[in-house]
Amino acid sequence: MAGIHLMRNPFRLLSRPHVAFAIIAFFFVGCAPSVRYSRNSAQPAVSSKQYLVPGDWDYRKNYRIPQSRLTAVISSYIGTPYRYGGMSRKGLDCSGLVCLVYREVSHVKLPHSTRRLKNYGRAVPLSQASQGDLVFFKGSSGRVNHVGIFLGNGKFAHASSSNGVIYSNLSEKYYEQRFWGVRRLFK
């Protein structure tokens, strides 16, 4: 039986302070969300982070992006240089911009791929697009290869390969010809 190690006392591991602390901390903190939703209308909200909601309410369907926060976060990326595959303030590509903005604004992790992003959410007609929706464009091959974040009134933010993160308008001939569609991730 050489090489086989049998642990005679499995609770011996708990005698190490850092292991015991980590286990106890996990039980106290766990994976609980920072905002609690309660369906019991008889019990009032006990903190500013607890909300009473109807029984059939689903936060994924009813979530709205905080518009002022979205605008502020996007503005902070304007001028960031383009870097293919990049996902930092040192350089990013179009899907990297979308990922970082959504992560900062709503703590949502999205795929770093335009091809995959075009399948998220639901399609929305351009006439009904609202701030925070994703706008997609196709390349010369006809395949979707570019994404931006719609800001309203035809304006959108995106990472341009030649100019970095900029604002553009859907009415510009280049984008008008390549426009593919709008996807809404949240209500």
Percent of the chain with pLDDT over 90: 57
Distance CA 128, CA 119 (A): 18
Q: Which residue in the list 5, 31, 94, 112 is annotated as catalytic?
A: 94
Q: What is each CA distance from 134 to 18, 122, 145, 165, 186, in whole angstroms? A: 45, 10, 13, 15, 11
By the 8 A CB rule, do 83 and 91 touch? yes
Tokens for 35, please give them: 């905002």
The pLDDT of residue 106 is: 85
The pLDDT of residue 119 is: 92
CATH topology of domain 63-184: endopeptidase fold (from Nostoc punctiforme) (3.90.1720)
Q: Between β-strands 179-184 and 164-169, what pairing exists: parallel, antiparallel or unpaired?
A: unpaired
**Is the pTM above the cut of 0.85?**
no
- Catalytic residue list contains 158: yes
By the 8 A CB rule, do 125 and 38 touch? no
- Catalytic residue list contains 18: no
Q: For the chain, which residues make up each domain, given as ranges? A: 31-62, 63-184
Confidence of residue 18 (pLDDT cuts 50, 70, 90): low
